[in-house]
Chain A
């Protein structure tokens, strides 16, 4: 009994300490190896100083994506969604504080290392062509882990659809990108407050504007490094947190969990070893208890 009991305890303690070691190791891994945007990454650059809040982008988005207009808060009179929802992939919101005001456009940020795609069991949400975070309903079971994961509250669920609900989020008009067009929102914007382009070009343009008019802007390009970097970028004259863009560090949201889990599982070697040890212990214990039972 001595040997097998000791072996058993060792196995259990080893299982526990693997998780503990992975846990202790995970903060060290933070910050190391920040995600890199795919070479063909495209994105949007939105500038609060240019937006006049006309919401042409909201209407164009609804049309291009064949969504129904959300008129629920105006008894059918206006397309006036309160938030991103199953009928609304982009939205212009207003921030007001005394004389200071700003519009802000919301849509999927198309993270370089997206938490939603990390969450998704079968990759219904995945990083597709041009780095667009794309959705394939055939692989979606509707578990909504993506909604739990997204640090920007972007993916929305069709709660009213009882039979075939889907996740709804901006896919940067990827069907339009495929035929060489740009997204509907940037195409229709009369003030070029939101422009479309390669992420590298947009970053360059954003920094050019910051350099040219430092007095106009908060001196940062939001999305350059936030949450590991996003393909949709923002310039703002009011602090980003005020317009719903939280101050996230350069670590991507899924990185800590991923580092921890891969640390514990060690390429699935740990479970295989644990299974072997458990089977060995069980076999030894069986021999032992069979002989003792005969006596009783």
Chain B
């Protein structure tokens, strides 16, 4: 399972600037303007955040939901390295690449969200000031470390390209670095499995500090486990979506069989999530709140409907092999997990009747811009670096 042993990944080549890239680029440019606006005029001017809702779209979506969507690398890592299903190896690099981008841009969002971004470097370095009770500290350190680990896990892709670079300097560096990375890769991969286990669960615990101001439907000591289980499901869904979209965009044969199997892996995960979420509500005597039909109850019921719809859409082999249905099921699952997270951080949180929050145009532009930037980066990297596996030959297709 060494990184390069049986990865026949190749750059897909072709021109970077296509019409699609230009459109996505326009969104990224709009995001850049919104970012500039925030930096010059401040959070009060650029966002709808306030002293009642100090956390908004950038935390609830970009960080809490975005990093869960970026759990493709984590989910594939569990499957390929822990469960030892080597046949899925071709999906690992593209999944890791989207994950690395997802986490990196969540980091950028945090940088824009915090008021004193120029002090962020103190968080990892001022270790004698670390507040070990702070769940946010754990999440922050863990996410910083994991982002670095993912780019290191991906570094063979860049170094392999470096072997054929024109500059002799880069060639020599790649020749030297590649065996070192190869040797340490196992330890990096193990870290790449440990760190998301830690911070994806802690992202759930994070909101528990709101305590009495958090609605009981979400205020549960099981929230870390619920976040952990659902992020693995969302990770697989993200790999399915990304696999379908990238094969469409690059006109390559989709890895239908493999993606269908991921669809099967998701079903027990979702069943576990639904069972735990329900059992927890029963255990805490909150079942009545689920059917109170106030807006908390309605949002929860929508979550449940989405979480139940996804495994139903993936129940049979025929359903899973239908690429359109598989794609739709993955989208439903992503919506379910995303809604669960946004509900926990924005809907369930009630600072009192005086406060309201709906993201400002600027906030939305920043989020859309960062996602666009992620797409551009992904396209650029798969074109010039060996990320996607070579077109499967009919004989090798399984």
List A residues at the B interface (Cβ < 8 Å). 1, 4-5, 8, 11-12, 15-16, 19-20, 22-24, 26-27, 83-85, 115, 117-123, 126, 137-145, 147-149, 151, 153, 156-166, 246, 248, 253-254, 256-258, 260-261, 264, 271, 274-275, 278-279, 281-283, 285-286, 288-290, 292-293
Which residue of chain B is the closest to A149 with respect to CB atoms? B209
| Per-position binary interface string of chain B over residues 209-242, scored 1 when its CB falls under 8 Å from any chain A CB and 0 otherwise | 1111100000011101100110000000000000
Residue in B55, B123, B224 whose CB lies within 8 Å of A122:
B123
Question: How far is A260 from B225 in the complex, measured between Cα atoms in Å?
Answer: 11
Chain A hits for B123, CB < 8 A: 121-122, 141
Picked from A115, A248, A290, the residue with its CB within 8 Å of the CB of B1 is A290
Roughly how many angstroms separate A143 CA and B1 CA in the complex, as a whole number? 41
A254 cross-chain contacts in B, Cβ below 8 A? 133, 209, 211
Q: What sequence of 0s and 1s flags, for each residue 42-53 of chain B, a beta carbon within 8 Å of any chain A beta carbon?
A: 111100011110
Query: Main SS of chain B's interface residues?
Result: helix
**Cβ of B136 and Cβ of A253 under 8 Å apart?**
no
| Residue of chain A at shortest CB distance from B134 | A121
Residues of B within 8 A of A253 (CB): 209, 211-212
Distance of A26 Cα from B225 Cα, bound (Å): 14
B134 near A139 with CB under 8 A, answer no
Q: Which residues of A contact B52 (CB under 8 A)?
A: 153
A148 near B210 with CB under 8 A, answer yes
CA distance A173 to B20 in the complex (A): 59
A/B interface sample: 29 pairs, CB < 8 A: A8-B82, A16-B228, A23-B221, A119-B134, A120-B134, A121-B134, A121-B137, A137-B116, A141-B117, A142-B114, A145-B134, A147-B54, A148-B54, A148-B349, A149-B211, A151-B211, A159-B50, A162-B45, A165-B43, A254-B209, A256-B221, A261-B138, A271-B194, A271-B198, A281-B81, A281-B82, A282-B1, A285-B82, A293-B6
Given A115-B209, A148-B349, A164-B116, also A279-B186 (CB < 8 A):
yes
Supply 9 further A-B pairs (C-beta < 8 A) apart from A84-B51, A153-B351: A1-B84, A8-B84, A119-B209, A138-B119, A141-B115, A143-B113, A165-B115, A275-B191, A282-B82
**Quick check: A20 and B225 within 8 Å, CB to CB?**
yes
A148 lies within 8 A of B221 (CB)? no
Q: Which residue of A lies closest to B123 (CB)?
A: A121
Selected contact of B197 from candidates A257, A274, A279, A289, CB within 8 Å: A274
Q: Is the CB of B136 within 8 A of A12?
A: no
A148 touches B209 (CB 8 A): yes
Residues of chain A within 8 A (CB-CB) of B209 are 115, 118-119, 145, 148-149, 253-254, 257
Tell me which residues across on chain B come within 8 A of A257, comparing CB atoms: 135, 205, 208-209, 211
